[in-house]
Structure 1
Amino acid sequence: MAALGWQGWLSIALVVLCFVLFLRTRIAPDIVTSGALTLLLVTGVLTVEEALAGFSNPGGITVAVLYVVVSGLTETGAVGWLGQALLGRPRSEQDARLRLMLPAAGLSAFLNNTPVVAIFIPAVLDWAKRHRLSLSRLLLPLSYASIAGGTCTLIGTSTNLVVDGMYTARTGGEGLGLLELAWIGLPVVAVVIVYLQLFASRLLPARQTATDSFADVRSYTAEMLVPEGSPLAGKRIEAAGLRQLPGLYLVEIERAGQAMPAVSSQAVLRGGDRLVFAGMLDSVMDLQRMRGLRPATDQVFKLGGKRRDRCFVEAVLSNKSPLVGRSVREGRFRARYNAAIIALSRGGERVQRKIGDIVLAAGDTLLLETHPEFVLQQRNAKDFLVVAQLGDDHPPAHERAPVAVAIVAAMVVSVAVGLFSMLEAALLAAGAMVLTRCTPGRVARRSPDWQVLVVIATSLGIGAALEKTGAAGVLAGSLIGLAQGMPWLSLALVFAAAAVLTALATNNVAAVLVFPIAMDAAQLMDVSPIPFMVAVMIAASAAFATPIGYQTNLMVFSVGGYRFADFLRIGIPLTLLVGAITVLLTPLIWPF
């Protein structure tokens, strides 16, 4: 490393500083990586073009566009349907992880794992909530399984294609076949899944995300209707997912004018059933988004405009409201306010009556479906003490769910058959989601997670500095120089060099830097270069130890409430295991 100039030493020092800040502080990752990139720019290590190149990187842009695609699944309620169809009903946390990892790994073998994870994340959020599962013990295994699945085929990840292309260009020989990597990829997938099944519960804490930390102690009463022809008709209560929502209790079913209290989880739903629920706000809101249910009050459908253009609002009745002392039915709430009451809470307790029969009292908290204008009109009115819109929540357009699923399927198939690149297909799918009104333009604009995108872009810039200054090459060369002509040890050190650089920079940067060193090592020892090429492919994808090494790790980082140390604790042993399997099996499959 003596040949390094001050630029190389500065690049290494900034990478180390980033790691220390990730581990020891709560500073947001995008702030840390942006600060490091700024220093590399102002010190002249990187030009403006080099520093900002990450912001135009196709991979990062693809991630941004995929957020828009996924918003179409969320806005139409298709996410919940996909979650139930693909993931089913888990019996335990271990069963849930297995149900999640197997399809993620299988799909990632033939598709870019970034869209696989992007589509799975919202489905897993909904699925975990319904089945009371810890997100922090699911999302990281999702990312790891998708990474492992990408090692099974030549098209599973861009890294495999890059390395195979460099090999054919250098040697003039044939590269690997489409499925040839499965000989090593399938054992890697097996090791990853078994390791996570055995140790994820111990190494990953059941950590709450920021939104989980604030429990809603209020109990609302809500009524929902199972309309004729509903997909829930004919299903048992439990199978329909009405027993899994946290903090929600199905009080009774009204069928043909007869009340059925103490409802069994095995009771079968029928079209026309009116369901009375009691529970916390978040779960009551989930009911409003559930496919196959609609608010029992007809007032919702007498409001003007489309349901997707409405919003949900909480309003607290004042003692000056003309509705106090009148029942909901008598008060003609919709005619007076152009809003419909869909749930009610009184003093944090459940009201033991149907919503239409409840006599309103001062201090009652009403959950309303209305238009955004209601908030502006009633915010300072004497009828209400508090009026607050619930974020950007609004009723989903369930009728467009098949269209959204078809758009995603077309995107996946077009990439799989080579018709479009991932970026091209994602852009077309995002445009189709907006044009078919699966997602409104205002939602599409807000859907990207800018923190994730900034970390991806700035991390690419830091990786470029390691490459430009020669620091990455020196680090890799120093490791491989320790082998002293022994093929097995050389192979192990090639894997180590690529894995370390992947953790520090990105997978493609690591592959490009280590590949020529690996080929030279094979040539000097007069052995076959294929085991070394395969080792670079696997190692450059074995980005388990840090969140910045792979895009899918960054995508689950904040959503799962993870810390940098979580990746180190579970990822370093996994990287060592995958390395051992690769070094042991590769020369047996492709002899030296």
Structure 2
Amino acid sequence: MGWEALFSLASVLFCFGMMAFTRVSPDLITSAALTLLLLAGVVSPEQALAGFANQGMLTVAVLYVVVSGLTETGAVGWIGQTLLGRPRSIRHAQWRLMLPVAALSAFLNNTPVVAVFIPALQEWARRHRLQLSRLLIPLSFASIAGGTCTLIGSSTNLLVNGLMLEQSGSGLALFDLLWIGLPVSLAVLLFVLLMGGWLLPNRSSAMEEFADVRAYTVEMQVEAGSPLPGRSIDEAGLRQLPRLFLAEIEREGGVLPAVSSKERLQAGDRLLFVGARDSVVDLQRIHGLLPATNQLFKLNDERPERRFIEVVVSSRHPLVGRTVREGRFRNRYNAVIIALARNGERLDGKLGDQRLQAGDTLLLEARPSFLEQQRNAQDWLLISPVGESHPLQHERAPLALGIVLLMVVLVGLGWLSMLKGALLAAGLMILTRCTRGQVARRSPDWQVLVVIATSFGIGAALQQSGAALFVAQGLMGLAGGEPWLALTLVFGITALLTALATNNVAAVLMFPIALAAAQQLQVSLLPFAITIMVAASASFATPIGYQTNLMVYNAGGYRFQDFLRIGLPLTLLVGLVTLLLVPLVWPF
């Protein structure tokens, strides 16, 4: 083994150590390692940068744009309500999540499945007060496990099957892998459900740790023709938003002050809520609820163009002492008051009848230009945008879901590659205005994309330098003449290479070694090929082993050791299931 191989292995160990024991961003770590390999001449510039032109990386980038269309139209909420429902506990939530994800991943590329579910899961977790850190790793693991069930469930399965066709002229049918994929999927689901309580991190979000002490009062109206009329308060999800209280319902001139969770909504109901700002903003995103003020629809631009902005009224404000309606707030500022907070008090009556006081905090719906126009005005003590929050265009949600379904069908039938299907869907999202150009440009998570792209370069260094082949051949020498031991080593080495590089790189490196072992032992190649497929997909122990792990890594605020703690024993369990069943189904 030359110095290039030693340097490559040292670079990989550097990445592992930095990720495991520091808080340095993963994209900086992998970029630094790839830079060192490039400067040392272990990889050429073309090899180092090949990951940035890789179809898998580009597909993930384009899928962020597709997902922005689902997010901007509120379709992610539909996904959450339809597929995920209402969980009774965190374990029940994991079950409701993992089962459909594994089933979908058996027939679809798991990257778009995870990409679509991440925003839906974030909203679902917030609404039902669940720890997101206990859900995103199960999301990735379920998609990986489901991909082992069919030949098209993973690109690795297709790659190894292609190599088998080249060598022997025979391959696998679509559902042949179900004999091993189904037990592996069940093992993964049961392990996470039974052991997740101890092994998954339990971190509260910033919203839970730093509660908003301001109590906003907000009026919402049930829209006629929406899904809400006829549903109970509980079924509509209006009891689940954190730190938000439904104080009363105004209906046909009367008031229901003590609202039961079984009370059924009617079109035109005016709902008075009291609660935290972020939950008030979430109310604006529920399909079928509109701010009760009729001033909202008199603004001279479309709702998706507006922003939620928080302001604090100063003592010099010209409307202090006057009601919102008397002061003609909309005409003066081209903005509408969505909610009002005053010293934590609960305000009675309609917002339009409230007399403004110095120190009142208002949540406005306004054009983005409001910030520049009013930044230096003496009317306000504070002006602050509420993140990237803005009203959703629910009427385009069916169109956004239709575009995603079209992408899935075209890719599933093999008429388009995953990259071409994603590009088509992203273009349609922009053309149909399900998402806007500026939103699409901001949607990719560049940290995830950089880690994916640089990981390909590091994997190329392991392959080109001979480090991966040296390690694999050295360990295979331990097998002697025992087929089952050789199969065990094939699984272990493939899983190790998957953790170090990527699943496809591991499969490509291990196939010729497994072929040589099968020929030397004079046994069938098939059990070795099946084992490589499963082991290359067993990317549970590190976040860099599979791109879906990288996608949830940032979203869940995970640390490297979080994957190691639950992924290592899970990899051992999957290995045990594989090594017990594969020789029985596909004998040597």
Q: TM class, shorter-chain normalised?
A: over 0.9
1:381 alignment partner in structure 2: 377
Match of 1:32 in 2: 29
* Large movers: runs of 4+ above 6 Å: none
Please, which of 548, 563, 586 is the counterpart of residue 559 of structure 2?
563
Q: Counterparts of 1:159 and 1:395 in 2: how far apart (Å)?
A: 41
Match of 2:315 in 1: 319
Q: Within 5 A, what are the aligned runs for 1:278-297?
A: 278-297=274-293
Q: In the alignment, what sits opposite 1:528?
A: 524
Q: Which residue of 1 aligns with 2:48?
A: 51
Which residue type is aligned with residue 520 of structure 1? A
Distance 2:345 2:384 in 1: 20
Aligned: 1:117 with 2:98:
no
Q: Deviations over 1:133-183 (max 9, x none)?
A: 111111100100100000001100000000010111122x21011100000
Letter in 1 for 2:147: G
Q: CA deviation at 1:332?
A: 1.0
Shift of 1:558: 1.2
TM-score, normalization by structure 2: 0.99
TM superposition shift of 1:470 = 0.4
Is 1:458 the equivalent of 2:485?
A: no
Q: After superposition, where does 1:185-584 map in structure 2 within 5 Å?
A: 185-209=181-205, 213-584=209-580
CA contact (8 A) 1:341 1:369 kept: yes
Task: Report the 3-state secondary structure (helix = DSSP H, G, I; strand = E; otherwise coil) of the residue aligned with 2:362.
Answer: strand
CA contact (8 A) 1:316 1:366 kept: yes
Return the alpha-carbon distance in structure 1 between the equivalents of residues 423 and 373 of structure 2.
39
Matched, 1:94 2:91: yes
**Contact 2:98 2:189 (8 Å CA) reproduced:** yes
Specify the SS of the correspondent of 1:547.
coil
Q: Is the 8 A contact 2:131 2:205 kept in 1?
A: no
Percent of matched pairs sharing the same residue: 65
Q: CA deviation at 1:328?
A: 1.6
8 Å Cα contact 1:209/1:560 also seen in 2: no
SS across alignment from 2:219: strand
- Number of equivalenced pairs: 588
Q: Displacement, 1:391?
A: 2.3
Q: Distance in 2 between matches of 1:491 and 1:183?
A: 18
Q: What is the alpha-carbon distance in structure 2 between the residues aligned to residue 518 and residue 160 of structure 1?
A: 15
C-alpha deviation, 1:213, in angstroms: 4.4
Report the AA paired with residue 252 of structure 1.
E
Give the 3-state SS of the residue equivalent to 2:544 in structure 1. helix
Task: Tell me how far 1:357 sits from its aligned partner.
Answer: 1.9
Change (3 A) 1:378 1:504: same
Alpha-carbon distance change, 20 to 212 in structure 1, aligned in 2, over 3 angstroms: farther
Question: Over residues 278-309 of structure 1, what are the superposed CA-to-partner deviations in whole Å (9 max), with x where a residue is unaligned?
Answer: 00011000001110110000011000011111
In structure 2, give the amino acid aligned to 1:374.
F
Which residue identity is paired with 1:26? Answer: R
Corresponding residue SS for 2:308? strand
**Distance (Å, rounded) in 1 between the aligned partners of 2:54 and 2:201:** 34
Partner SS, residue 548 of structure 1: coil
Structure 1 residues 41 and 209: alpha-carbon distance in aligned structure 2, compared to 1, 3 A threshold: farther
* Matched AA of 2:32: G
Q: CA deviation at 1:347?
A: 2.2
Letter in 1 for 2:13: V
Tell me what 2:154 maps to.
157
* AA matched with 1:299: Q
In structure 2, the residue matched to 1:8 is 5
Q: CA deviation at 1:355?
A: 1.2
Contact (CA 8 Å) 2:492, 2:535: kept in 1 or not? yes
Q: Give the structure 2 partner of residue 104 of structure 1.
A: 101
Q: Distance in 2 between matches of 1:479 and 1:44?
A: 27
Specify whether residues 313 and 192 from structure 1 end up closer, same or farther in structure 2 by C-alpha distance, changes over 3 A only. Answer: same
Offset from partner CA, 1:489-528 (integer Å, 9 cap, x none): 0000000010000000000000000010001101100001
Distance 1:228 1:114 in 2: 37
8 A Cα contact 2:219 2:292, kept in partner: yes
Report the secondary structure of 1:557's partner residue. helix
For the Cα contact (< 8 Å) 1:71–1:444, is it kept in 2?
yes
Decide whether the 8 Å contact of 1:69 with 1:433 is kept in 2.
yes
Amino acid across the alignment from 1:469 = S
- The 1:40/1:349 distance shift into structure 2, 3 A limit, reads farther
Unaligned runs of 5+ in 2: none
> How far off is 1:352 after superposition?
3.4
Q: Distance in 2 between matches of 1:190 and 1:145?
A: 10
Q: Which moved more, 1:383-392 or 1:63-72?
A: 383-392
Residues 208 and 561 of structure 1 are in contact (CA less than 8 Å); yes or no, is this contact kept in structure 2? no
In the alignment, the residues of structure 2 paired with residue 215 and residue 169 of structure 1 have an alpha-carbon distance, to the nearest angstrom, of 61
Write out per-residue CA displacement over residues 28-52 of structure 1, whole angstroms, 9 at most, x where no aligned residue. 0001000000000111111111000
Cα drift, residue 257 of structure 1: 1.0
- How far apart are the structure 1 equivalents of 2:216 and 2:207? 20
1:348: how far off? 3.6
Choose which of 70, 74, 78 in structure 1 pairs with 2:75.
Answer: 78
CA RMSD in angstroms comes to 0.9
TM (norm. structure 1) is 0.98
Q: 1:313 to 1:407 in 2, by over 3 A?
A: same
User: Aligned with 1:540: secondary structure?
Assistant: helix
Is the Cα–Cα contact under 8 Å of residues 209 and 561 in structure 1 kept in the other structure?
A: no
CA shift digits 1:373-426 (9 cap, x unpaired)? 111111111111111222222111111001000000111111111111111000
The whole-number CA distance in structure 2 between the counterparts of 1:336 and 1:286 is: 27
